[in-house]
């Protein structure tokens, strides 16, 4: 009877330890935003491309705001993991009040 109890306690300890290791492993991973095709960035033309064309290329923006009275759309995708192969992409597009691109910026750690 004592051996069965020790075996059960040992198995319970092993399961707890395995659960803890998995929790630590997966806690090092996370994603924010929605992935977008940064290769289309070159198609954006200042003073020409409209907000409808931007939405057709990249889909809905992750965030929208106002900067100095101008509409700003932010596309963001950040995937961080335990293996060090992080993907960080941020694209900011500022529109004129008539809906065409005033300025744009892409920041990424992905190789071209």
Architecture of the domain delimited by 29-108: 2-Layer Sandwich (3.30)
pLDDT at 100: 98
Say if residue 45's pLDDT is above 70: yes
Binned at pLDDT 50, 70 and 90, residue 7 comes out as: low
The pLDDT value recorded for residue 103 is 98
pLDDT in tens, 63-78: 999 999 999 999 999 8
Q: What are phi and psi of 66, to 5 degrees?
A: -130, 135
Give kind and range of the element (H or E) at residue 31. strand 30-33
Q: Name beta bridge partners: 30.
A: 80
Q: Which two tokens stand for residue 36?
A: 């977008």
């Amino acid at each position: 009877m004592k051996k069965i109890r020790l075996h059960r306690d040992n198995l319970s300890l092993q399961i707890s330890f395995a659960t803890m290791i998995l929790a630590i492993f997966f806690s090092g991973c996370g994603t924010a935003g929605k992935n977008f095709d940064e290769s289309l960035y070159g198609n954006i033309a200042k003073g020409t491309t409209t907000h409808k064309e931007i939405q057709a290329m990249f889909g809905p923006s992750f965030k929208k705001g106002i900067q100095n009275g101008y509409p700003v759309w932010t596309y963001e995708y950040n995937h961080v993991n335990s293996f060090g192969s992080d993907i960080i992409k941020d694209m900011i597009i500022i529109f004129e009040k008539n809906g065409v691109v005033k300025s744009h910026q892409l920041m990424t750690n992905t190789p071209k």
